[in-house]
Copies of this chain bind each other. A is one copy, B any other.
């Protein structure tokens, strides 16, 4: 990639290029921060979306208490970028990865999720040997049926094992309602959150009755942040996608109205084989489509009809529209996180002008 000079018009950036509208991003960050300003729950945004220390520091400056990460590799990038408190909201498994996390805990506050007593034992041994302290949340299955122990007794049992393990600090519970974040109707989503997060809160109560201090109860995604974040007992919200939004989240009631889409892919027409078809230079290697094809920003009369590896086909409703090879269009990804995961660079633009080029430092850091 030839890095273009700053200050140029966004249409002079070579394609495909992943653009951030910085004004929109900053508004999104502010909107979520404002919501949590007077709430008991605090924001610990997930870096899975932006993957970039500078944006993490912007979130922290607006009140975030630290960052949530998916993997050890993401946590390293954040800590190396100066973030002082990271939660790895997943199980850290395997000798090498445990060692990395334990060593990282000498340089920042590091907390991980567990759902297995053998894993607790391995973490404990490594932490003790390294002389580090690793924070631990017991992951509770709140209905997504992925990882996590069942609520109530199984969670209490594992929490006690953590409490007894050297090198580890039991800090609380985590339960991610990922099965609810995309429920389109707000009222349905709210009712389901009350029901499912209720299991997490009940489990917290059980632990406290058993004499355990539950400092953290972590949950929530962008689709549920403003619901789960209001439930008494929840202390942290992990929302990440709100920073940029994407096509799928924009359609979710109660979310789409509050946040705007900051992330688009600048692409270029490479061929117009017929009056009603153009081909652009972005395919599956530049934009993902597991949540549906991207949409063409500002052109409701244009429709993405297929993506091959390096090409997107766009159907034109109006055969008389003037568009030709070399013209540029912006695509709105349906799924920001996986699209960003393909790119090395963000092009930050403000009012149509290139202001920053940022490395996506945690891109591909899934190890």
Contact with B along A267-296 (1 / 0, CB 8 A): 011111100010101101110111000000
Contact with B along A140-182 (1 / 0, CB 8 A): 0100011111000000000000000000000000000010000
Closest to A364 in B: B344
Report chain B residues within 8 Å CB of A330: none
Report chain B residues within 8 Å CB of A17: 367
- A interface, over-half SS: loop
Report chain B residues within 8 Å CB of A93: 268-270, 281, 325-326
| Docked complex Cα distance between A116 and B253 (Å) | 45
Does A353 reach chain B (CB closer than 8 Å)? Answer: no
Report chain B residues within 8 Å CB of A365: 1
List A residues at the B interface (Cβ < 8 Å): 1-2, 4, 14-17, 48, 70-71, 73, 90-91, 93-94, 96-97, 100, 115-116, 118-119, 141, 145-149, 178, 268-273, 277, 279, 281-282, 284-286, 288-290, 308-311, 313, 324-326, 337-338, 341-344, 364-367
Q: With A93-B281, A344-B364 given, is the CB distance from A325 to B116 under 8 Å?
A: yes
Q: Are A342 and B341 in contact (CB under 8 A)?
A: yes
Report chain B residues within 8 Å CB of A324: 116, 118
Question: What number of copies of this chain does the assembly contain?
Answer: 2
Report chain B residues within 8 Å CB of A271: 91, 115-116, 146-148
Q: Are B367 and A118 in contact (CB under 8 A)?
A: no
From B94, B282, B309, give the contact of A337 (CB < 8 A). Answer: B309
Closest 3 CB pairs of A and B: A147-B271, A91-B270, A70-B310
| 19 CB < 8 A contacts A-B | A1-B73, A1-B365, A1-B367, A15-B94, A15-B367, A93-B269, A93-B326, A146-B273, A146-B279, A146-B311, A146-B313, A147-B271, A282-B366, A284-B290, A284-B338, A285-B364, A289-B290, A309-B338, A343-B364
